[in-house]
Structure 1
């Protein structure tokens, strides 16, 4: 359990702290997939861009405008296949990571909304209800998790 969550001993009971820890874990998982997806998208974009530049300056520009000669030059080199495989692999990986990112975001948002909805049950006593605001501040400041409102 995180040190900041353990320090909330007087502000929240054990099940509430476990729920908050789970929320932090889901947020980190979502952030991890978000970063990974962005990296794959940048890799794919740069691969496409470099292949287009290579294709234009090496194959199209100095060569003839005959389509059969261009296709022969394109299929004659293994480097072109490597470029295409890298682009397809990058695109496929970006799609796969995007699906995982959306799933992680859904799980995170569901649990976050559950914490917000169950706040009266998690902090049932009036003196604990006043401390709830401190817990929400810690979650926002330390982990960038907004528990004040349900909207994203």
Structure 2
């Protein structure tokens, strides 16, 4: 369990609430990790595609601007070009894979976050605890970047 969550005293939150908050932190970290991997895949694919377009323009297209068949035959003859095409396709497939996983993790995170917000009446039932709830929400916002004040993203 996270140190900041563990340090919440019994007057602020009980054990079930701490476990829900810990689960929320884990879902947020999973979502952030997948978001980072998706961005890295997109940057790799974009960079690889730009490099290929520059190479294609200067070494295949520019010297052979007259005939399309010559351009196509020069492109097909070199197996090095297949490396570029496979790399771009693999990068794109990786981006699609991580994007789907990211969207699923975001939905799980958002669902759990909304559940914590909706169950706040049950987690902090008495008026004294209800006032302490603000401290917990502020700590979650500052420590982990999780907004529990509103349901909207």
Q: TM-score range by the shorter chain?
A: over 0.9
CA RMSD in angstroms comes to: 0.8
What's 2:73 paired with?
72
User: SS of the residue aligned with 1:111?
Assistant: helix
In the TM superposition, what are the counterparts of 1:1-150 in structure 2 within 5 Å?
A: 1-10=1-10, 11-150=12-151
Q: Distance in 1 between matches of 2:109 and 2:58?
A: 47
Q: Distance in 1 between matches of 2:89 and 2:24?
A: 35
How far did 1:87 drift?
Answer: 0.3
How far did 1:64 drift?
Answer: 4.6
Deviation string, structure 1 residues 105-124 (Cα, Å, up to 9, x no partner): 00000000000000010011
Runs of 4+ in 1 over 6 A off after TM superposition: none
User: SS of the residue aligned with 1:81?
Assistant: helix
How far did 1:68 drift?
Answer: 1.6
**Where does the alignment leave 5 or more consecutive residues of structure 1 unmatched?**
none
User: SS of the residue aligned with 1:87?
Assistant: helix
Q: Distance in 2 between matches of 1:12 and 1:69?
A: 73
Q: Distance in 2 between matches of 1:116 and 1:64?
A: 63
Deviation string, structure 1 residues 67-93 (Cα, Å, up to 9, x no partner): 221111101111100000000000000
Deviates more, 1:59-68 or 1:127-136: 59-68
User: SS of the residue aligned with 2:28?
Assistant: helix
How far did 1:63 drift?
Answer: 2.1
**Where does the alignment leave 5 or more consecutive residues of structure 2 unmatched?**
none
